[in-house]
Structures are given as C-alpha cells and as structure tokens.
Chains A and B, each alone.
Chain A
Amino acid sequence: QLLGGQRQPRSFWTFEYYQSFFDVDTQQVLERIKGSVMPLPGKNFVRHHLRNNPDLYGPFWICATLALAVALSGNLSHLVEKRTSPTYHYSPQIHNVTIAATLIFCYVGLVPLALWGFLRWRRSPGSPPGPYSFLETVCAYGYSLSAYVPSAVLWLVPVSWLQWLVLAVAALLSAAVLAITFWPPARADSWATALAVVATVVSLHTLLAIGCKVPMGGALGGSVSPPHDPHPIFPSPH
C-alpha cells in the first residue's frame, strides 16, 4: 500500500520510530491546544488539526502539567481553607502528584484504547477507510485535557459555586470537542451506537474532572475532610 511519500514505517526498536511522534513545532502545538477547547461543529479535531501528524509531545506534557496543577492546587486550597484551624500542620503532600499522575495517564492511555478498539471492531467492511488510528485517538484525548489545566488553577479561588462553574465549563468545552471528533466514525455504524459512544465519552470525561476536583480540592463546600488529614498531635505553628 502506497504511503504517498510519507515517512517509512520504521522498526519499533529504533530511536527514529519514536522521533516521528514528536515531529511538531511550537506553533502547531499551540494551534492544537486552541483547537481542543473550541468546539466548532464543522471542525473535527483529528481531521482538521492533526492532519495525519499525531504527536505524543502534547498529550504527555499536558497530562504531566495537569497532574502537577491538580496536586498543587489541591494542596494550596487545603492550606487556604484550614490555615486558621489550630490542629492543622502544613505538609506539601508530594505523593499526591504521583496519584494524580497515575490517574490521568491511565485515563489518557486506557480510554482511547477502549474507544479505538470498539470503533475498529464495529467498523463494517464496506465503510470508507477507517476510523482514527490509536495514536490519533490518544492525541485527541491528551489535548482535550488542556482545558482542565486552567480550571485546576482557578479552583484555588475558595468560592464553591465558582469552582463548580469552572469545572462545568471546562468539561463541557472539551467533551464537546471530543464528541464532535468521535461522532463521524461512530455515526458510520448506526445512530444508536453513535449516541452510546458519545454519551460514554462525555460522561467519562466529566467523571475525570470531578475525580480531580473532589479528593484534591476542598470538597463540597469544605465540610468534608479529605482522606489525607494529618493527625492532630502537632501544636499550632506560630
């Protein structure tokens, strides 16, 4: 099958194979981030922005940034909330970063795998050539998480309804982009499948947002204490 002058498929074990996943410029990365938060009905993220050049730079570093942002903002908002309490002793909770990173990287790795596998499986033989490649799916998911990074920073503001509003806006925008992206290949199957796929995508995405906010930040108006509450044997710092 002719590759039309594109890069040759290189062996899995060479360094150049992996270099082909990082073949992006700064401008392209910025464009892709912008495209992942603006759901325009005609513009499919994969076809319009990726244009057969999916990259792993964006997903990897956006996930890493998000894990850091979520852990840090959770730590800071916990501090802001509990500062006046006499039994509170500040601790940086570095291992929260590991937990957040595991959660986010698993999401960006496993959910696209399931989605890609599902679309592959359901593709009928007569339909036009294929749904997206696995890398494009991962790329779309990775870039869609970029909407959560500024919202993680905005969660520092200790106003509960604002936090939920920011979460809703971010989840809505990025889930809409994902829905627009994955509608065509799912639609090629049937209406019911398409609706099911889009509903699953949107709900998982929203669940991730809630999962990032609730344990890390001041949950539910601050009355529920997070599980990492340090035990109160230290006197208050002066």
Chain B
Amino acid sequence: FAGLADVSISEDIPVEGEITIPVGSRSPDEDFSTLDEPVRDTIMRDLKAVGKKFVHVMYPKKSSALLRDWDLWGPLVLCVSLALMLQGGSADSKDDGGPQFAEVFVIIWFGAVVITLNSKLLGGTISFFQSLCVLGYCVLPLTVAMLVCRLVLLAGSGTISFIIRLIVVVAMFGWSTLASTAFLADSQPPNRKALVVYPIFLFYFVISWMILTFTPQ
C-alpha cells in the first residue's frame, strides 16, 4: 500500500456536515392527512363539494369552482336518478319504445363524451374530465323537471298536465343549455362558440325529449 501514502484529502474541500437526517418541522401534508379523521368528515367534505357545485349550476355565475375541482360524483348521481325516474313508463311490453335504464345511461355518457371530443377537436382549452363534469352537472335542471313531471302525472295525464309539463321541460332545457354554455363557452376560440354550443343544445334536447314523452303505465 505504498502508493496510498501519497493520497491525502486536499485542504480546501470541506468535509463537514451532518450525518443525521433532519427531523425538522413537520411537512405541510401531514397537517392535512385525512387518514385519521372520522369517516363522517370525509364524506361530508365530498358531499359539500358536490352540493356547492349544484348551487353553482342553478345560479350560473362566472365561477371556476366547477372547472377547477371537477368531480364525477354529481353527474353519476344525477344520471342514475334520472334513469330511475324514467323507468316504470309503458315498460310492460319490451319493445314499446320507452328508454331502458342502460339506454339513458349510455345516451348521457356517450353524448357527453362526443360533445367533449367535439369541443377539444375544435380547439378548446378545457380538459376532458372538466368538460364531462360540467355537462353532467348541468343535467340537474332536467332532473328537477323530471321530478316535477312525475308529480304532475300523478295528478292526471290530460291536456293541461301536458301543457304544464311542456312549459316546465322547455324552461329547464333552456336553463341547462345556458348554464353549460356559461361554463364551457369561455374556453373556446371566439369565432367557434356557436359550433360548440349547437351539439350541447342537441344533447339536452334529446334528454328533454325523453323526459317530455315519458308516459306512465
């Protein structure tokens, strides 16, 4: 080992420091660790987020809550409840034309995906799931219309009930379209807004058609 005797650590390379891992202040994540909280808190937080978005849909202002913190719980709940309410209508014979549960589901989700693809292809800056989130949440007015229609149909199914249902469905259809346009149109280039709004109009028109033509057995 004679050669090693010449090796020495140069004086100007500092060899100092701590070997221990600093256990300093707790990282910020640990303060928000959601693993220890009660289950009720977790569920309530998500429910409150969904509820807040419902309020945003009913009173569409320029707020980014729907876009920034998108979730798909609300659309799922709305879709399932709408599909359930559309059951039990002239469904005794299988090919009598009323929408089945799976048909409503497929129409809503497939329609939302097609509209999202359309707006992205036209050059929109919104992300895929944000757009699905907005379209799903804006089904809320139509779900309310379905509820009202079912209540009206309990009272009778003559011409007056039809006129009431027509007015309610048309109003809610307009509300849905306006709400989703308010959220989605900003992310499009300005000379293509109508191209994006038209498929949304068609989508809610189909859903409104299904609601209006619901006839209980």
Contacts and interface: CB of A to CB of B under 8 A. Distances in A.
Interface string A69-91: 00010000000000000000111
Contacts of B205: 68
B202 A94 contact: no
Interface string B186-216: 0000011111001100100110011001010
Interface in A14-35: 15, 18-19, 21-22, 24-27, 29
Nearest to B206: A68
Contacts of A92: 97-99, 209-210, 213
Interface of B: 90, 93, 96-99, 103, 118, 120-123, 157-158, 191-195, 198-199, 202, 205-206, 209-210, 213, 215
A61 interface: yes
Interface residues of A, number: 29
B202 A19 contact: no
A169 to B, nearest CB: 25
A65 interface: yes
A230 B94 CA distance: 11
Contacts of A64: 202
A15 B193 CA distance: 21
Contacts of B210: 92, 94
Contacts of A22: 118, 121-123
B99 A94 contact: yes
Given A22-B118, A26-B192, A231-B93, 6 more contacts: A19-B121, A26-B193, A29-B195, A91-B97, A92-B97, A94-B103
Interface of A: 15, 18-19, 21-22, 24-27, 29, 57, 61, 64-65, 68, 72, 89-95, 97, 228, 230-231, 237-238
A91 B90 contact: yes
B118 A57 contact: yes
A76 to B, nearest CB: 10
A166 to B, nearest CB: 22
8 closest Cβ contacts across the A-B interface? A91-B97, A92-B213, A93-B97, A22-B121, A26-B194, A25-B191, A91-B96, A22-B122
Contact of A237 (B97, B157, B191): B157
Nearest to B97: A91
Contacts of A238: 157-158
Given A19-B123, A64-B202, A26 B195 contact: yes
Contact of B121 (A18, A29, A237): A18
B195 A89 contact: no
A25 B98 contact: no
Contacts of B206: 68, 97
B107 to A, nearest CB: 8
B98 A68 contact: no
Nearest to B212: A92
A97 B198 CA distance: 18
Contacts of A231: 93
B93 A230 contact: yes
Nearest to B96: A91
A72 B118 contact: no
A18 B117 CA distance: 10
Which of the listed residues B118, B193, B195, B205 has the most CB atoms from chain A within 10 Å of its own CB? Answer: B195
B142 to A, nearest CB: 16
A191 B90 CA distance: 58
